[in-house]
Amino acid sequence: DIQMTQSPSSLPASLGDRVTITCRASQDIGNYLRWFQQKPGKSPRLMIYGATNLANGVPSRFSGSRSGSDYSLTINSLESEDMAIYYCLQHNEYPYTFGAGTKLELK
């Protein structure tokens, strides 16, 4: 199975900060990478698809990028509603696999 190594596992940040979360794929996945946001007690929400495309209704302060086998989710000007756990998902090869998650919390 493809391993998705996500870092950091925890990210303390302040409101207004710019933060970046990264997933590294153990083998080539092309742009078959999605990012999800999950708040306590809620289902995951699709944020980014195709590594760089914003899903419907997602604020423009979110963005996705790729550098080789590293995929990043960046949030510009952090807002309180962004505090959540973020997961990446690769869907290039079955079984699809998720990163372990990054908990974004207020410093």
Which C-beta is closer to other proteins: that of 7 or that of 96? 96
Give the one residue of 16, 40, 68, 95 binding other proteins; rule: CB under 8 A. Answer: 95
* Residues ≥6 apart with Cβ < 8 Å to 42: none
The per-residue b/e assignment along 55-94, b for 16 or more CB within 10 angstroms, e otherwise, is beebeeebbbebeeeebbbebeebeeebbbbbbbbbeeee
The CA–CA distances, whole Å, from 89 to 38, 76, 78 equal 13, 21, 22
| Residue 86 within binding range of other proteins, rule CB under 8 A | no
CA distance 99 to 80: 23
Give the one residue of 19, 29, 34, 73 binding other proteins; rule: CB under 8 A. Answer: 34
| Residue 100 within binding range of other proteins, rule CB under 8 A | yes
Residue span binding other proteins (CB under 8 A) among the ranges 14-22, 23-31, 49-57, 66-74: 49-57
DSSP state of 82: G
| Residue 60 within binding range of other proteins, rule CB under 8 A | no
* Distance in Å, CB of 22 to other proteins, minimum: 16
Binding site for other proteins (CB under 8 A): 34, 36, 43-46, 49, 55-56, 87, 89, 91, 94-101
